[in-house]
Structure 1
Amino acid sequence: MATTAKQTRTTSSTRTSARPAPSARTYVLDTSVLLADPGAIRRFAEHEVVLPVVVITELEGKRHHPELGFFARSALRMLDELRITHGRLDEPVPVGDEGGTVRVELNHTDPTSLPSGFRLGDSDTRILAVATNLAAEGHAVTLVSKDLPLRIKASAVGLGAEEYRAEAVSDSDTGYSGMAELEVTAGELDELYDDAVLDLVEARDLPCHQGLVLLSDRGTALGRVGPDKRVHLVRGDREAFGIHGRSAEQRIALELLLDPEVGIVSLGGRAGTGKSAMALCAGLEAVLERGQHKKVVVFRPLFAVGGQELGYLPGSEAEKMGPWAQAVFDTLGAMTSKEVIEEVLDRGMLEVLPLTHIRGRSLHDAFVIVDEAQSLERNVLLTVLSRIGANSKVVLTHDVAQRDNLRVGRHDGVVAVIEKLKGHPLFAHVTLTRSERSPIAALVTEMLENVTL
């Protein structure tokens, strides 16, 4: 149902805003929603969307951000198109096809409606003030945000608060592991070993590049679903820069990492399952041994445990990057000698860079690894993938249980990208399950993952 009340504009900061129809709700959006989805204002059906004016100010401040600038500009352009069409935005203007409206709220910013401890004068305070003042006037208000602390604050002052989930996947769609088990006859298993390919009815409806564990009463085999929807044999003796897959998932992952026809490989799994090690070794194999690419480029997002950002660390950029880059060199040091690492670096065949350096670049002839991808918002991740140039491959390594970015939920970010790309011939995903770390590290990781949140 469309909003029927007509808002009357006054110059008073205490004016009474128009109330939407009884069945409609008022959704107050914060900046994080528009940065995640610039078209979010169109996705609230018949309801009223309110943007506190501080959101516009924050979008303006993000216009030149290396990762979020494109999305800030897109949101501002969409609002400007509405301004051109309707003349003003401080009154409700129609959006979408279901009778919804959007307006920029200039008033209702009096912070005295908030408890004294919340009157901090920051952007969160202004957004909360708008929501609480509208609720006090009888609006059915819900604050929508990707920012976890802001949602907690909203609940603390008695407001309804929701995470923006339009770009996320549903709970039932987050379990894709990239692996499946199928029972086959002994004859079918023999055919697969003899011909390296098997036409299996049960595999025709599975996503392209899904890994398979084939079970028969006479043995087992590993395979994957090819673009032709047939099962292709996966050899267990494949190696990359001296490492072999120990589990079924690792062997499938190694097969996909070394396949030049698969342009995007996603490696998920908890800490210690070998994601980064396999990606690095596959990259060095492709560059040094096979000559498929000119260099390995590792990008790491600048979200540290505890939230300490790069700009606050002392020293030059190279010195600031030290703590982030060291994780990569630690992984390499466990698999090869210091001399090999130094040679690779001296020849310019390995770069470790902050993700902000991808802005404006097109990466050609490179084996690109995006480490800790679970901390990237969906739109940022898609921007990263759009920078991949000719004759390049990209590997995403991630553990959704270790997100350092509070704007990324369990069901969006890299999880949403996996669900969107699943089944495309250029994409493959495998979740690794076997821990390669010490028993102590494996025990602690399991304890942390079993904490109820």
Structure 2
Amino acid sequence: MANTPRKTYVLDTSVLLSDPRAMIRFDEHDVVLPIVVITELEAKRHHPELGYFARQALRLLDELRISQGRLDHPLPVGNQGGTLTVELNHSGQEALPIGFRLGDNDSRILAVAKTLSNAGRTVTVVSKDLPMRIKASAMGLDAQEYRAELAVDSGWTGMAELDIGSEAMNTLYVEGRLVHEAASELPCHTGLVLHSGRGGALGRIGPDGAIRLVRGDRDAFGLHGRSAEQRVALDLLLDPDVGIISLGGRAGTGKSALAMCAGLEAVIERRHHRRMIIFRPLYAVGGQELGYLPGSEAEKMGPWAQAVFDTLGAVVSSEVVEEVLDRGMLEVLPLTHIRGRSLHDAFVIVDEAQSLERNVLLTVLSRIGQNSRVVLTHDVAQRDNLRVGRHDGVAAVIEVLKGNPLFAHVTLTRSERSPIAALVTDLLEGIEG
């Protein structure tokens, strides 16, 4: 530890909004918070999605102020010799190249980092914001994404293949379940493609560790699964004991259609829930806040919610859609409307979950009340939020919940869209990779 060069980490607001305790997690190094970060946290205190995390960060700073005194001098944090400073100075634009002297908050944070670097300190700008890291690097500063919350990418798809032999296959078909040593180490609700000398089957791991047979003829509101992954996903969606279901996969694999038909089945046919609520993040508008779009609130929400109705229209009749809307059995809402709500007796779908930061997603899950279930649909290749990387957000939540009996995840791979759409999706994923 003594041989590690001491570094100075300049944190921006996005880091503290993703992890309010990030300021004390840098071991023996120095952490600097430009004063404008405090201003931005204050402005976010009442934000419907990020307000809780802004308040947590501010409370921690206040606790340090009470216990340590002034924050504008390095104060010790942790037990490894690290310090924290709220930097009041060095936010002038003189240290920045002319093209970066924009007078905005990012420029003020970069000015602090550049001034400290010019003074001989080994400085790294830490941010969850991709453009911020690019700008820091462009002016010669070291820049890193905040990584303490990132998931280790295990490549887990929620599916596995096993060869179980003909006798075991017969037992599975006759009894509907099978205890098999090869499945003992797999997470709960892992979907299985099973092989034997006499044929194959689909299954999934139950909470007791046994393999349960997944029948291919199950349907949700008339929708049948075509691929192995879709059939396993459908089996999970129709199991009321699985409270959180994650459906990943590229565009056109049927994530939203499966989730919505399962919701209609649960609400209309089985009456397990009173209504289906579909939340979509506002990033789906393409970065524009609804307040800046023309028209009334209903006119602003129309194009934004149309993707949901397009999907529903492809799998059910327009009469069904009109009926569930008229009877109040279907709501399509922006995620900001979840603030202060407890969602009871509902089948909840969070669409486009890849654009949600980890803490925001966990806040959403915490709103799920009695007799409710939630489905997360996501495609990490289509992130609209530049603060979310491939391995945080929903990916981190999947890794944390994997193996819990209340949680299941399946990555869908077979595209149900046209060959042209599939080709373009492949090209986009190649660029992303």
Please tell me the TM-score bracket, short chain as reference. over 0.9
The answer to whether residue 364 in structure 2 is matched with residue 381 in structure 1 is no
Which residue of structure 2 aligns with residue 140 of structure 1?
Answer: 122
2:82 to 100, 108, 115: 100
C-alpha distance in 2 between matches for 1:69 and 1:318: 26
| SS of the residue 1:401 aligns to | helix
Which residues in structure 2 correspond to 1:238-253 (within 5 Å)?
238-253=218-233
Shift of 1:110: 2.2
Q: Which amino acid aligns with 2:41?
A: L
1:374 and 1:414 in contact (8 A); partners too: yes
Q: Which amino acid aligns with 1:444?
A: V
Change (3 A) 1:217 1:99: same
Which residue of structure 2 aligns with residue 342 of structure 1?
Answer: 322
Gaps of 5+ in 2: none
| SS of the residue 2:380 aligns to | coil
Which residue of structure 2 aligns with residue 58 of structure 1?
Answer: 40
Shift of 1:208: 0.4
1:327 to 307, 324, 338: 307
Which residue of structure 2 aligns with residue 16 of structure 1?
Answer: none
Which residue of structure 2 aligns with residue 7 of structure 1?
Answer: none
Shift of 1:452: 5.1
Deviates more, 1:319-328 or 1:60-69: 319-328
2:91 to 109, 119, 137: 109
C-alpha distance in 2 between matches for 1:422 and 1:446: 27
Which residue of structure 2 aligns with residue 255 of structure 1?
Answer: 235
The answer to whether residue 294 in structure 2 is matched with residue 314 in structure 1 is yes
Shift of 1:315: 2.1
2:112 to 123, 127, 130: 130
Shift of 1:323: 1.4
2:404 to 424, 427, 430: 424
2:151 to 169, 172, 176: 169
How big is each residue's C-alpha offset from its partner over 1:265-291, in whole Å with a ceiling of 9 and x where there is no partner? 000000000000000000000000000
| SS of the residue 2:385 aligns to | coil
* Consecutive aligned runs of 4 or more in structure 1 exceeding 6 Å deviation: none
Which residues in structure 2 correspond to 1:49-448 (within 5 Å)?
49-170=31-152, 172-173=153-154, 175-304=155-284, 306-448=286-428
How big is each residue's C-alpha offset from its partner over 1:27-52, in whole Å with a ceiling of 9 and x where there is no partner? 00000000000010121111100000
Count how many residue pairs are aligned between Structure 1 and Structure 2: 433
How big is each residue's C-alpha offset from its partner over 1:159-214, in whole Å with a ceiling of 9 and x where there is no partner? 000000111112x42x1100000011100000000000000111111100000011
Q: Which amino acid aligns with 1:348?
A: G
Q: What TM-score results when the alignment is normalised by the length of structure 2? A: 0.98
The answer to whether residue 40 in structure 2 is matched with residue 24 in structure 1 is no
C-alpha distance in 1 between matches for 2:186 and 2:382: 29
Shift of 1:381: 0.2
Shift of 1:305: 5.7
How big is each residue's C-alpha offset from its partner over 1:359-394, in whole Å with a ceiling of 9 and x where there is no partner? 000000000000000000000000000000000000
The answer to whether residue 423 in structure 2 is matched with residue 451 in structure 1 is no
Q: Which amino acid aligns with 1:35?
A: L
C-alpha distance in 2 between matches for 1:120 and 1:165: 28
C-alpha distance in 1 between matches for 2:160 and 2:284: 35
Shift of 1:318: 2.1
Pairwise CA RMSD? 1.1
2:381 and 2:432 in contact (8 A); partners too: no
| SS of the residue 2:60 aligns to | helix
Q: What TM-score results when the alignment is normalised by the length of structure 1? A: 0.94
How big is each residue's C-alpha offset from its partner over 1:98-146, in whole Å with a ceiling of 9 and x where there is no partner? 2211110011112111111100110000000000000001100000000
Q: Which amino acid aligns with 1:236?
A: G
C-alpha distance in 2 between matches for 1:245 and 1:295: 23
2:281 and 2:355 in contact (8 A); partners too: yes
C-alpha distance in 2 between matches for 1:50 and 1:301: 32
C-alpha distance in 2 between matches for 1:302 and 1:452: 22
Shift of 1:97: 2.5
Gaps of 5+ in 1: 3-20
Q: Which amino acid aligns with 2:357?
A: E
2:285 and 2:304 in contact (8 A); partners too: no
Shift of 1:22: 7.6
1:305 and 1:404 in contact (8 A); partners too: no
Q: Which amino acid aligns with 1:110?
A: G
Shift of 1:451: 1.2
C-alpha distance in 2 between matches for 1:47 and 1:218: 62
1:286 and 1:292 in contact (8 A); partners too: yes
| SS of the residue 1:131 aligns to | helix
How big is each residue's C-alpha offset from its partner over 1:240-264, in whole Å with a ceiling of 9 and x where there is no partner? 0111000000000000001000000
C-alpha distance in 2 between matches for 1:290 and 1:259: 12
C-alpha distance in 2 between matches for 1:381 and 1:318: 26
